[in-house]
Homo-oligomer: A and B are copies of this chain.
Amino acid sequence: MDLLVVGSVALDSVETPYGRVEKALGGSAVYFSVSASYFTGVGMVAVIGQDFSEDYVDFLKSRNIDLRGLKREHGLTFQWRGRYDSDLNEAKTLDTQLNVFEDFRPLVPDEYQEASVIFLANIDPELQLNVLEQVKHPRLTICDTMNFWIEKKPDQLKETIERVDILIINEGEARQLSREYNLIKAYQKISSYGPKTLVIKQGSYGALLFTPSSIFSAPAYPLESVLDPTGAGDCFAGGFTGYLAKSQGSAEKELNKAVIYGSVMASFNVEDFSLGRLRTLTLDEVEERFESFKGLTQF
């Protein structure tokens, strides 16, 4: 098990102009793990309730995701209900039921403490920090967050960010966290907080990667049909982190490739609701789309 993720497992009810699902498999740890599982072994630290279907557990196991860190508690699984309008850029949250997630205290199993790569999905920064304290000497730590934590727990968030190598956030969050509109200035500010590498996700416009010596720009893969953007950011992080865990390096060239693998995984995920597309996706299809990113960007 090379890669450890802590995050949420959820039952998502989502409506877009192209359809809807009720209590479908979701959550940051799920999207991340399934996406990363195309590249490396993943162990998940998360919590589910009594209502979480064994079918979903079996699907995660079929992706070789190590579930020794997945605890089933009394109560219901975390539920999220949201809607997207036709531009599909921003989810409107209609309802959130934390349920068993409310008292979630991540406990990293002994077997995971040697994980070389750690991904802290978007949860309370205090829990993220708590996980970092339970692991021994990871080679690479990567973290996500969101506007809610930037506003509500800025000090705790800074404490977590200070200790990670790479931060992955979206454009609006990068501006909010740094208080800089210009993204180069935002990177300079954020790198002074700790992480020397920053990935800024730009939705349908792709992603930017900043390191102390370079900037890399990846487009989003143009798709004629996008059904549901839920989980795209976590699938991006899964492809990015999974590739870095597998490649054993984080040289500039590997980071660039990792961003493209992240974009590849996100592009497949939005083609269907929930994890529908990832249930049938093959590694050959992943490699084929990686190649087609070359045609899309090279001149």
Chain A residues packing against B (C-beta within 8 Å) = 86-87, 181-185, 202, 205-206, 208, 214-219, 222-226, 253, 256-257, 259-260, 293-299
Are the C-beta atoms of A223 and B181 separated by less than 8 Å? no
- Given A86-B181, A184-B224, decide whether A299 and B260 contact each other with a Cβ distance below 8 A: yes
The CA of A257 and the CA of B224, in the complex, are separated in Å by 25
Q: Which residues of B contact A202 (CB under 8 A)?
A: 205
Closest B residue to A188 by beta carbon equals B224
Are the C-beta atoms of B256 and A223 separated by less than 8 Å? no
The CA of A208 and the CA of B220, in the complex, are separated in Å by 11
Are the C-beta atoms of A299 and B257 separated by less than 8 Å? yes
Which of B184, B217, B224, B294 lies in contact with A219, CB distance below 8 A?
A: B217
- 5 A–B contacts from the bound complex (CB under 8 Å): A182-B223, A182-B225, A185-B224, A205-B205, A217-B297
18 other A-B residue contacts (CB within 8 Å) besides A87-B181, A182-B224: A182-B223, A202-B205, A206-B219, A208-B222, A214-B295, A215-B222, A216-B296, A216-B299, A217-B219, A217-B222, A217-B297, A218-B299, A253-B299, A257-B299, A259-B299, A260-B299, A294-B299, A297-B298
The secondary-structure label for the interface of chain A is mixed
Q: Which residues of B contact A222 (CB under 8 A)?
A: 183-184, 208, 215, 217
Q: Which residues of B contact A253 (CB under 8 A)?
A: 299
Q: Which residues of B contact A299 (CB under 8 A)?
A: 216, 218, 253, 256-257, 259-260, 293-294, 297
Kindly provide the distance from the CB of A70 to the nearest chain B CB, expressed in whole angstroms. 34
Q: Which residues of B contact A214 (CB under 8 A)?
A: 295
- Given A299-B256, A299-B260, decide whether A223 and B87 contact each other with a Cβ distance below 8 A: no
The CA of A217 and the CA of B293, in the complex, are separated in Å by 9
Closest B residue to A210 by beta carbon equals B222
